[in-house]
Every structure is written in C-alpha cells, then in structure tokens.
Chains A and B, each alone.
Chain A
Amino acid sequence: MKLLQCPINGIRPLSEFTYGGEYRDMPDPDTCTDKEWAAYVHYRNGAPGLKKEWWYHGPSGTWFIAERDTMTDKVSRTYIAGQEEKQ
C-alpha cells in the first residue's frame, strides 16, 4: 500500500485517504459555451503526466491537493488548496 503525505498530518498509508478526483479549473458558467461546459463536466484527460488531484485525509477531515505524476505514480508535493505558496 502506498504512502501519501497529508500537509497537516504527515505521511500516512493510502487507506487513510479518499481520492477526490482531478482538480480542474471550472470555466465561468456565465460566459462559457454549452460545449465548453459539457467538456469540463464530462471529459477527462487520461494521458499520463503531472496531475493535480484532490485527496481527503479521513481521520482529520483534511482536503488537500496532491501533484502526482500519473506516469511514475510519484507525488511531488501536497498542499491545502489555495495555500500552495505556503508549502
């Protein structure tokens, strides 16, 4: 079982975490076209590479972002959303 670093609670086994999907910037719903919105909701890019992902540490209730290379399965850094500069 892999390990993952929670920015608050440190390194824990993956079983303490829940995956929350890829972090993707939402297009402005007021200005985007229907097509752009549908692409945002339904399309996922499966190509390997560096992805930002939502992860949730269950015991402490902490959401954070993990930057993971889906090719190598290596997580380069984790941080609370909006606080990447503090890390």
Chain B
Amino acid sequence: MSSRIAKKRGEWINRDKPLTFEYEGQQVQGYEGDTISSALWANGVKVLGRSFKYHRARGILSFANHDVNALMTDGEDTNIRADVWPVSNGMKLEAVNTDGGVIKDKNKYIDYLSPFLPVGFYYKTFYKPKRMFPFWEDKIRKAAGLGKVNFNYPRHIKPKRYAHCDVLIIGAGASGLSAALEAAEQGFSVILVDENRQIGGSLTYDLAGDPAATDTLSTLQAAVESQANIRVIIDAYAGGYYGDNLVPIVEKSGITKVRAQTVIVAAGVFEQPPVFRYNDLPGVMLGSAAQRLVHRYAVKPFNKGVVVTANDHGYRTALDLASVGVEVVAVIDMRRDGAAQDITQKVKDKGIAVHKGSCIYEAVAAGDKLGVKEVVVCPYDETTAEADTSRSVRLACDGVAMSAGWAPAAALLYQAGTKMRYDDSIQQFVPAQLPESVFAAGKVNGVFELKARMQDGRRAAAEAMNYMGKVVAVDSVKQSLSSSPSHPYPIVNHPKGKNFVDFDEDIQVKDFINAAKEGFDNIELMKRFTTVGMGPSQGKHSNMNAIRILARIRQLPVEKIGTTTARPFFHPTPIGHLGGRGFHPHRYTAMHQWHVDNGGEMFEAGIWMRPGFYTPAGVKLSAADAVQQEALAVREKVGMIDGSTLGKIEVFGPDAAAFLERFYTGKFAGQKVGESRIAMLLDEAGVMLDDGIAVRMADDQFYVSTNSSNAATVYREMQRNVQLWKMQVTLVNLTGAMAAMTVAGPASRSVVEQLTDIDVSAAAMPDGAFRTGKVAGVDARLMRVSFVSDLAFEIHVPYKAGLHVWNAVMEAGKAFGIRPFGTDAQRLLRLEMGHHLISHDTDGLTNPFEAHSDSLVAMDKPFFIGQRSLKILAKKPLNKKLTTFVLDQGFNGELPNECNLVIDSANNISGRVTSISYSRYLNRHIGFAFVPPEQTNDGARFQIRTDSGAMVSATACNAPFFHLLES
C-alpha cells in the first residue's frame, strides 16, 4: 500500500535511485533523498516508535528534526532521528525504547498504569524506605533513557574547523536568503546555514496549493547560487551562540566554528500543536509536517483526514493536502471567528467543510491504538478551553493535521543576550532589544507574510552593514496580518487527560495543574518537576503551551511567566563532535628518543615528556628497584639526568643586576662573574613560588634557571615587571633553546674532565662555580651544582647538540659505571640531600621562614617582591616549620604517605608529611614534614597517622642524612 504520489516539482527524492532497507524485520522500499520516516510513511508504516514514559505508539509529529518518539538504531548508532536521517541501501533499523518490537512492545502496559503515575510519582515514591532504593534504582535506570550506548562505537575523528565571515545567517528561508543576497551584493562575505538538505525554508512546503511560492524560491535559489560571496552550509545547525559572535555550526562531518562580524538569526519558528485527548496517535501530525511530507517527499500523510487549526495555517495545509488528492473531510477551526474570508472561500471551493468555533475533543484510536479511526468534534469555547460535549459529531478519518501557532526558534538570540517581549498581536515572543551585532529577521522576528519576510531579511542585512560601517538605507517593514498566526490558548480540557503537551516526556495538561497545586508554579520549577521541555527536543513543541497553561493557572500575562533559557548546544550534538580532534601539545627534549630507546618510562611532567626511570630492554626490574639502583649509582659511581626542562632565562642590560635584586629575594649587585647564587622568587604575600640559580656571565648579563614547572610563569612575571618597573633589561627565554644534563656522583668529575677544555678540578671549580667552554666539542655552559649529590656538573648546550653531548658523556662514563637516572631517582636523591621542592614540600601559603630559607632572604635590600609582607610576617611567631625526619631503624610497618597528618599528644593535627621515601643507600625511610617549630630540633619525636589510622613515630633529623650511616 503505497502513499507515494506522482512526481512533484521540487521534490527532494531521486526516483531514479530506488533503494531497500529493513525496519523491524520488514523490507521497505524508498528512494535516495528519502528520510527514514518519509520512506516508511510512503510504505504505510505509521508506528515509528514508542513514547518514552507510557510506551504509546507514535508516528510523525513535526517531521522537522524534533520527532523524538521516532528514534531508531542501526546497530552501531543509536537515537537516529528517523524524521530527518537519510535512508541508505541495506540499512537495518529498529525503533529504540521497545521491548520485543515496536508493534508488540511488552512495555505498552505502562500506558494502562498511567493514571497511577502522576507527575512527581518517582520523586515521591521511591526515596523510602532507604534500603529499597537500590532495588528501585535498578528498575528505574533500566526504564529511563533512550537507546543503548554502543561501547564498540568506532572512533571517527571529527575535525573542528574555524571559519570567518562578515555576515553569518542562520536559516535559509525567505528572509535568510533575502538577507544573504542583500549583504553579498554589497560585497560582504556571507555564510548561510540551514538544517535542511535544501535551502528555502517554508517556501519548500508551505504552498497553500499554489505553486507561486515555488517560483519565488527558484528565483532566490538561482540568485544565491550565482553569488560568489555566499557560502551555503546545508544539513547543518547552528548549535549555540558564544561571545563576540562565535557560532558552532554542526554538520555530520564535524563542527565549524564560525566567527562572524555580524549574525542574522532567520531561524524561523517551530509549529506548536493544539492540545486535545489522543493528539499523539500515529496519523495525527502538525500541519507543517503534513505539508513537508507532501511537497518534499511526495507522500500522502493520510488518505482521508481532517485539519484542526487555531490559525489560518490550517487552511493552507488543507489546500496543500487537497492539491495532492487527500480527502479532507473538514477544517475544524478553534476560533470563534474563523479565518479570513478569501482563504475560507478557497477551502470551501475544494469541497471542504469548515467548522468555526469547534475543536477536536478527542481523537479515537483504532482498536490496537496504532492509528486514528475517527475524531470527536465539539463546539469549543475559546475563553474557558472547554468543549461542549453535548453537541459532539464523529468524523471518520485516518489522519489529522493540526495547527495552533508557532514558537520562535530564538535559542541563539536568547544566548546572545537578546531581551524578548511578548507581542499580543501575534501571540509570540519577539526580540525587543538585540545585542549590537546580532539581528533577527523573518518569522522569528514576528514577520509572517512572505513579501514582508523578504523585506525583513533585506532590512536586517542593511542594519548589519551599517553596523560594519557601510552606510545603506534601512527600509522599515510593514505587514498586514488578518489574524494572529498563533493562538493564545489552543488547549482542549478533557476529564480523562491524555491531551499531550509534551510528546518527549508524555506530559498532559493535568500534570501542570498538579504541579502548580504542589507549589511548583514558577516556569523553572515547573519544568523540573514535570520535566516539560527536558526531553531530547528540549521543549521545541511543548514549552510555549506549557507557558500558556501556567499563565492561565496563575492568571498572569504570558510575558510575566517568561521562558526558560535554552543553553548551547540547543540541539543534541554527539560527544565525538564536541571532542573533535584534540590538540594536546607536548614538549620533547633533544634526548627524547634516547630515553625511549633505553627503556625510559616516559610520563607527562607538566607539558614535558620525561623519563621517570629506566628499565632497559631484557632487564627484569621493578620500578622501585630501578629507582633505587639509579640513585645508588649516583651515590657510589656516577649518573646522569636530562635536565633540559629547567627554565633558562637570560637577563641582559645595564639594569640586569638591579632587576634581579627587585625580582628575587637575594643579592646580585655584588655577584662576581662566573659565580652562581640561589634565586628565590616570592609573591607579594611572601609565599615561595620558585627557586633557581642565577649565574653572572657578565656585568650586564645573567643566566637564570627556574624549576621545570615554573619556566613559563617566571619568564612571564619577569617580562611584566620589566614593563612595570621601566628598567633597561632585555629578557631572552632559552628554556627550549638549551639542552641541559646533570652528571652527578663521586666519579662525575672523572667523566666530565675527559670531554672538556674547562679546568674542572676542585680547586679551579668549587661548588657553585660557572664556566663556559667546550664540552664534547660543543659550546657549553658548565656549572658545579649540589642538588642531588655533593659533586655534580650541570652541562648546558644548544638543544640541537644535546643528544650529541649526552651520547659523549654516556660513552665517557661507561668505564665508571654511569647510569642514566630519571625524575623518580632525582626526587629521592634530593631528599637524601635535604633539599625541599617548592610547591611540593611547600604550599600556596608557605613563606621562607617556615622553610629554613631565611638565609636566602636579604631583608636589608631596599625592595624585593614579597619583602613588605615578610616584614609583617617576621613579627609574628611561626606555627609550623618544615623539617627533615627519619623513621626508626628497621621500620617495617605501614608506610605513611605524603599528606598524612602529624598528630600531637592531645590528638590534634599539628602538621603533615610532604615527602617520604625509602632510601636503599641509607637503608632508612626519610622525609619532609611540616611540624610545630619546636619539633624541628634534631631528635624531636612526633607521630604520623597513616591512611589506616595507625600511628608511626618519626624523628626530626638534620640533613643531609648521610650522617645516619656513621652511627
């Protein structure tokens, strides 16, 4: 039984390309260009899904990307919207939200229980007794949600692109097309977006039986196609509005983020259903849905139907239906006064009866509730919304087209900050005050008449161009409407309910009344209590009626009720689209490949990739053993770590020393060339931010290092203060330009001296000394440091030569048993040395007095960042201090973790552990902890509470810890 009609001008299907697919086990024929719903409907299949809550059979409602009861799965994807998704050969579809198929759905019994499931039922019923909740939760979770997530969903990378234009126009209907032409003709670049697969908007279906609109469309279409300045993006929706006119356009292939100078929203309106009992049966659909079926897909919505309307659009629908041979039994007009004379006459001329002041009191289901068999028509009182059932008439039919008005597709306007007002003359929210570079045109702007819409598009474009500085005339737009396009209250009360307001969530008129009775009578509260507008269509067909119902309950004007805000994305957008192709930059040192080749366990240390430790190929080694062995190599022989991640900054200029004196806590003015000093940075509150080493390379040149994680921020702060203090200083960030490596351990001198022309003897190069010269034939900066070992050399060379020098050191160190060591061993080594790590052992409140760093703070300088705060802090007693500690010899209990608390004798918290580790070299557990100041004295005992609550004794102990080996 095919409902396909003869080929129509402008149809969207390609009859030369027939195809076959499967729906619920049934073979279905369609054409290329069909949507799933249109192909099924053409084949007489009208049950496209089951509703979310009551599992009622549903068919086509909007046929405009909001039919959320007609959701399908093809096995891979779920919740495919059948009303818009194109069919393809061989696809196998099933409706979601059924148990045992869409016709036999075992859950349809829930519909019979609906009287016992009032609004708020779940909230009130299952929360006690508490012990039963897990049981109910399991049941409810199974019932809730639509579709099943496919955990084997293949990963398709969806690119996210940027695009730029002068004018972004959302909606390619009559007003959008006109706006695009106006702007493009004046030389502006235009991006025109439409969610449909063809441009034209309502010109593609709302003909009222008259092909004139098709001619208008052809003219506009041709003009747009010949305009090089217009880029048309179809089959895509504008997902949201973000600051400064950034609008993500969502296509199947991915998201394009359009940055526009101006935005014109010409997104049109969503048709709103009248509310009557059983307005949800398959075969009952919106008037515009029926028109789309007819004109885009050449499918008859039904054979013998009625039109129920509360505006003139129902008459247009009736004419379109009649034009393709649908028997229209009657137009039932809910308005007492009916429509304008001319259109009424046109309808009557087609032999269609017109019943003014009437409503459909209820649609009557065919026996199996899978369709309509007749409608009950009664006189209707617009003021009370009551039907006079004493004078009912039954009209046999297999379908109903319904029109009651429109809601603006204004989500983007709201998001952009538009103030809306309710226009009583058209019973619609319209923009009252728009942001300065955002414009609205067409029906969303309250302009309905075709000619006026085209003028309104040109008007909006003219205003946009004026905003961009091109002076053009702005013509005002006038329309003469014979009646309001929307009805103020298209609701028919029914004692038995099932007069659906929200088809996503099966919400009936009485649910709103009950919600209001319970006190949820504010639109935001009502939304959450009833869940109106919270389904997948986000209230596109229900919010307006909900607002009207609430306004009537509260006896307030609609404007006073207000609307809820549709946040971006205003249409469901796949997570894969939002994720898109991610960009996660990493920095790699010059020795990266060497680490990988030699068993380095690479991890993300901030933005850098670093080796934590090495497990060379063929060696069975636990991580802990690897770390201990690396540390032992440094203590007993020699090791080398890649320290390229250190921040490295050159400070040049006549004010270089003066700048460092203001920036850091220490003194640099008298520092000798070739000497290094610790450079500690505080914030204005005196909190320790960073510590590095400042080397004087010349009178007017310093080379400063920072902690790896602070390189970017310290450089940035230096730049800011150079500007702020107006000093003659030039800064160069060499962090990425220099590779660095530290050769540490008793044999390090023997290794380094083989490779360099610099005299590295103890006498010539004491701790802290800095020299330049050649290392492995490369220009190098060499420094004696003692962070991980008493004897260590830090070698800095240009990045490009980093691997070469690293290899040379490894080669020279072979004879001495050199081992590379990673960051884990480095942490242990510095702990053995008693060096704290800023922002690991200190926190966002720690000042230098609390971290034994008084000696690094030159309080007698005229100024440094944080000094004034330290002067205040110095007057106050300390209440915590960082100490090094050791656990008892032979400790083998539960090891405390970092952040475990120090507990005093009164069982109060008195501090915490900041670092703790076992040292194989010392055969002891050592660490750092904050404790009360009196407990920092060598030998002081304190208790640490472990994760399990056990208490562990610790002893404050001077560092370096090596004296422990002597006792």
Given A38-B872, A42-B685, A81-B244 contact (CB < 8 Å): no
CA distance A73 to B726 in the complex (A): 30
Cβ contact within 8 Å between B720 and A20 = yes
Given A41-B685, A42-B685, A81-B723, A29-B868 contact (CB < 8 Å): yes
Cβ contact within 8 Å between A41 and B869 = yes
Cβ contact within 8 Å between A63 and B723 = yes
- B244 touches which of A3, A32, A61 (Cβ 8 Å): A3
- B723 touches which of A3, A13, A37, A82 (Cβ 8 Å): A82
CA distance A13 to B244 in the complex (A): 9
Chain B residues with CB below 8 A from A34, complex form = 871-872
- B724 touches which of A1, A40, A42, A81 (Cβ 8 Å): A81
CA distance A37 to B875 in the complex (A): 15
Q: From residue B404, how far is it (CB to closest CB) to chain A in Å?
A: 39
User: Is chain A's interface secondary structure helix, strand, loop, or mixed overall?
Assistant: mixed
Chain B residues with CB below 8 A from A86, complex form = none
- A54 touches which of B242, B259, B720 (Cβ 8 Å): B720
A80 within 8 A of B: yes
Q: From residue B200, how far is it (CB to closest CB) to chain A in Å?
A: 32
A70 within 8 A of B: no
* Number of A-B residue pairs having CB atoms within 8 Å of each other in the complex: 47
Range of interface residues on chain B? 20 to 34
Binary interface encoding of chain A residues 1-41 relative to chain B, with 1 for a CB under 8 A from any of its CBs, else 0: 11100000000010000101000000001001010011011
B77 within 8 A of A: no
Chain B residues with CB below 8 A from A1, complex form = 242-244, 246
Cβ contact within 8 Å between A82 and B720 = no
CA distance A82 to B867 in the complex (A): 24
CA distance A54 to B716 in the complex (A): 12
CA distance A32 to B719 in the complex (A): 26
CA distance A43 to B762 in the complex (A): 52
Residue of A whose beta carbon sits closest to that of B715:
A61
Cβ contact within 8 Å between A37 and B246 = no
B684 within 8 A of A: yes
Residue of B whose beta carbon sits closest to that of A72:
B417
CA distance A48 to B867 in the complex (A): 31
- A29 touches which of B242, B685, B723, B867 (Cβ 8 Å): B867
Q: From residue B864, how far is it (CB to closest CB) to chain A in Å?
A: 10
Chain B residues with CB below 8 A from A37, complex form = 868-869, 872
Q: From residue B905, how far is it (CB to closest CB) to chain A in Å?
A: 34
Q: From residue A53, how far is it (CB to closest CB) to chain B in Å?
A: 12
Cβ contact within 8 Å between B869 and A80 = no
Chain B residues with CB below 8 A from A61, complex form = 716, 719, 733
Chain A residues with CB below 8 A from B723, complex form = 63, 80-82
B863 within 8 A of A: yes
Chain B residues with CB below 8 A from A2, complex form = 243-244
CA distance A2 to B76 in the complex (A): 37
Chain B residues with CB below 8 A from A56, complex form = 716, 719-720
CA distance A18 to B720 in the complex (A): 12
Binary interface encoding of chain A residues 52-76 relative to chain B, with 1 for a CB under 8 A from any of its CBs, else 0: 0010100001010000000001000
Chain A residues with CB below 8 A from B863, complex form = 29
Residue of A whose beta carbon sits closest to that of B721:
A63
CA distance A61 to B869 in the complex (A): 29
CA distance A62 to B425 in the complex (A): 55
Chain A residues with CB below 8 A from B719, complex form = 56, 61, 63
Q: From residue B215, how far is it (CB to closest CB) to chain A in Å?
A: 43
B719-756 with Cβ < 8 A to chain A:
719-720, 723-724, 726, 733
Binary interface encoding of chain B residues 856-888 relative to chain A, with 1 for a CB under 8 A from any of its CBs, else 0: 000000010001110110000000000000000
Given A20-B720, A29-B868, A82-B723, A41-B684 contact (CB < 8 Å): yes
Q: From residue A15, how far is it (CB to closest CB) to chain B in Å?
A: 11
Binary interface encoding of chain B residues 225-257 relative to chain A, with 1 for a CB under 8 A from any of its CBs, else 0: 000000000000000001110100000000000
CA distance A73 to B416 in the complex (A): 13
Q: From residue A64, how far is it (CB to closest CB) to chain B in Å?
A: 9
CA distance A81 to B720 in the complex (A): 9
Q: From residue A38, how far is it (CB to closest CB) to chain B in Å?
A: 7
Q: From residue B463, how far is it (CB to closest CB) to chain A in Å?
A: 20
Q: From residue A87, how far is it (CB to closest CB) to chain B in Å?
A: 15
Chain B residues with CB below 8 A from A32, complex form = 868
Cβ contact within 8 Å between B716 and A18 = yes
CA distance A28 to B335 in the complex (A): 77
Chain B residues with CB below 8 A from A20, complex form = 716, 720
Q: From residue A78, how far is it (CB to closest CB) to chain B in Å?
A: 14
Residue of B685, B867, B869 ringed by the most chain A CB atoms within 10 A: B869
CA distance A18 to B717 in the complex (A): 12
CA distance A80 to B720 in the complex (A): 10
CA distance A20 to B717 in the complex (A): 9
Chain A residues with CB below 8 A from B259, complex form = 3, 13
CA distance A37 to B684 in the complex (A): 10
Chain A residues with CB below 8 A from B867, complex form = 29
Cβ contact within 8 Å between B872 and A63 = no
Binary interface encoding of chain B residues 701-719 relative to chain A, with 1 for a CB under 8 A from any of its CBs, else 0: 0000000000000001001
Chain B residues with CB below 8 A from A29, complex form = 863, 867-868
Chain A residues with CB below 8 A from B868, complex form = 29, 32, 37
CA distance A21 to B685 in the complex (A): 15
CA distance A1 to B13 in the complex (A): 40
CA distance A40 to B684 in the complex (A): 9
Q: From residue B687, how far is it (CB to closest CB) to chain A in Å?
A: 10
CA distance A63 to B715 in the complex (A): 12
Q: From residue B858, how far is it (CB to closest CB) to chain A in Å?
A: 15
Residue of B whose beta carbon sits closest to that of A18:
B716
CA distance A41 to B726 in the complex (A): 22
Chain B residues with CB below 8 A from A3, complex form = 243-244, 259
Cβ contact within 8 Å between A82 and B242 = no
Residue of B whose beta carbon sits closest to that of A34:
B872
Chain B residues with CB below 8 A from A80, complex form = 723
Chain A residues with CB below 8 A from B242, complex form = 1
Q: From residue A46, how far is it (CB to closest CB) to chain B in Å?
A: 18
Q: From residue A47, how far is it (CB to closest CB) to chain B in Å?
A: 21
Chain A residues with CB below 8 A from B724, complex form = 81-82
Q: From residue A12, how far is it (CB to closest CB) to chain B in Å?
A: 11
CA distance A20 to B719 in the complex (A): 12
CA distance A41 to B686 in the complex (A): 10
Residue of A whose beta carbon sits closest to that of B875:
A34
CA distance A34 to B871 in the complex (A): 9
CA distance A28 to B142 in the complex (A): 67
CA distance A32 to B724 in the complex (A): 20
Cβ contact within 8 Å between B243 and A82 = no
CA distance A18 to B713 in the complex (A): 10
Residue of B whose beta carbon sits closest to that of A65:
B723
CA distance A63 to B863 in the complex (A): 23
B825-884 with Cβ < 8 A to chain A:
863, 867-869, 871-872
Chain A residues with CB below 8 A from B733, complex form = 61
Residue of B whose beta carbon sits closest to that of A27:
B868
Chain A residues with CB below 8 A from B246, complex form = 1
CA distance A3 to B733 in the complex (A): 27
Given A20-B720, A63-B719, A82-B726 contact (CB < 8 Å): yes
CA distance A1 to B243 in the complex (A): 5
A to B CB contacts below 8 Å, 28 in the list: A1-B242, A2-B243, A3-B243, A3-B244, A3-B259, A20-B716, A20-B720, A29-B863, A29-B867, A32-B868, A37-B869, A37-B872, A38-B869, A40-B684, A41-B684, A41-B869, A56-B716, A56-B720, A61-B716, A61-B719, A63-B716, A63-B719, A63-B720, A73-B243, A81-B724, A82-B723, A82-B724, A82-B726
List 7 additional A-B contacts (Cβ < 8 Å) besides A37-B868, A37-B872.
A1-B244, A3-B259, A29-B867, A32-B868, A63-B719, A63-B720, A80-B723
Sorted nearest first, the 9 A-B pairs with minimum C-beta distance are A29-B868, A2-B243, A3-B244, A63-B720, A34-B872, A41-B685, A2-B244, A41-B684, A37-B868
